[in-house]
Amino acid sequence: MSRFCHLVTAELTKIRTVRSMKWALLLTPVICVGLGYAVSLSLRVGFPRLPPRQRRDFDPLFAAFYSLSIGQLALVVFGATVTGSEYSTGMIVTSLTVAPRRGLFYTAKIAAGSLVAAGTALLTVVATFLAAQQALGPHRASPAAPGTIQAMLGAWLYLTIICALAMAITAILRNSALALTIMMPLLFLDSQGLGNVPGLQRVIDYLPDQAGSVIVHLSGPGEGRFSRPFGPWTGMAIMAVWTAAAVVAGYLVLARTDVTRASRRKVRGGKTYLGRSPAA
């Protein structure tokens, strides 16, 4: 246990010393709070012009947490960098020399990244909710309103888990850019583009981002704008299963990879090459 704590501390130190990671963490609350306030203020101004049905079904938590669909991208970049930087810099060889037990090293890295993501997500969710509800004015939702605490808890879990998923996918691919190429379009479009293809909606409903977001919008089975064929906690469980499977797959890749070959650094003519040299 002591060894694991030391490894987690080492991983937290790495995170603290990489500038790009700090910027990604900073951008998460900035984007979510700013966009959440702007969307809520816009809805407040336009509320009298909404059709009667939309006014009746108005969801103040949608206004608050819509911005998470954009702000989550910064946490995805953070997660991909946590894992991928080991390969892009060649540090994976040094890390595994210091911590030869790959399972312990990998678990510590995922734990450290998830711990930082959880702290950032907590700050982001609380600040975004307060800012958005302030902008909504008379249409705001009280923290004591039924379902509000559940939605806030779900939003916190969603951001934390989506970051862990990004770390795991990057561990599988061993390349941050490739992982972001796969995840960014899906998350940026919120899977809606694919959902418009006939016959694909039933599949899209079970993708991790779509399943996990149900709890944020307070929609139960078969009702509401963001409804799915399952309830909010079932959706969160589906997202967790996706992430757990990716984490296990990431470990299996690391356990079977010759990292000295995958991330070898060769210096020739004052330049550093990753992987095989140009002459190889």
Q: Lowest-pLDDT range, 124-128, 201-205, 234-238?
A: 201-205
Confidence of residue 197 (pLDDT cuts 50, 70, 90): low
The reported pLDDT for the residue numbered 199 is: 67
Express as a percent the part of the chain with pLDDT over 90: 45
What's the domain count of the chain? 1
Instruction: Work out the pLDDT band at 245, boundaries 50, 70, 90.
Output: very high
Work out the pLDDT band at 193, boundaries 50, 70, 90.
low
Looking at the domain assignment, is residue 49 inside a domain? yes
Confidence of residue 147 (pLDDT cuts 50, 70, 90): confident
Evaluate whether residue 225 is within a structural domain.
no
Q: Return the pLDDT at 227.
A: 62
Region 195-214: mean pLDDT is 77
Of the listed ranges 38-47, 111-120, 207-216, 221-230, the least confidently predicted one is 221-230
**Number of Cα atoms under 13 Å in the Cβ half of residue 243:** 25
Residue 173: φ, ψ to 5°: -85, -20
Average pLDDT over residues 217-236: 65
Question: How far is CA 155 from its chain centroid?
Answer: 11
Q: How far is CA 70 from CA 29, 57, 123, 200, in A?
A: 11, 24, 16, 23
Parent domain of 21:
2-194+240-274
Close Cβ partners of 142 (under 8 Å, ≥ 6 residues apart): 148
Q: What value does the mean pLDDT take over residues 17-36?
A: 92
pLDDT at 220 over 70: no
Are the C-beta atoms of 22 and 16 separated by less than 8 Å? Answer: yes
The answer to whether 175 and 84 are in contact (CB under 8 A) is yes
The mean pLDDT of the chain is: 83
Kindly state whether residue 53 falls inside one of the protein's structural domains.
yes
Q: Looking at the predicted structure, is the pLDDT value of residue 189 above 80?
A: no
The residue behind tokens 């990604």 is 24
Would you state the pLDDT for residue 269?
40
d(CA 241, CA 110): 16
Identity at 63, one-letter amino acid code: A
Task: Look at residue 235 and tell me if it is in a domain.
Answer: no
Residue 270: pLDDT above 50?
Answer: no
In this predicted structure, what is the pLDDT of residue 88? 84
33 within domain boundaries: yes
Which of 26-35, 117-126, 146-155, 182-191 shows the lowest per-residue confidence on average (mean pLDDT)?
182-191
Provide the pLDDT for residue 280.
34
pTM of the model: 0.85
Length of the chain: 280
pLDDT at 192 over 60: no
pLDDT of residue 178: 93
Residue 142, domain member (yes or no): yes
Compute how many other C-beta atoms are within 10 angstroms of the C-beta atom of residue 264. Answer: 16
Residue 232 is predicted with a pLDDT of: 86
What band does 276 get if pLDDT is binned at 50, 70 and 90? Answer: very low
Q: Considering the domain boundaries, does residue 229 fall inside one?
A: no
Task: Confirm whether 214 is domain-assigned.
Answer: no
Residue with tokens 């060889």: 93
On the question of pLDDT at 77 being above 80, the answer is yes
Helices (H), the chain: 2-17, 19-46, 52-56, 60-65, 68-88, 91-98, 102-136, 148-173, 176-188, 192-195, 201-204, 208-212, 232-255, 259-262
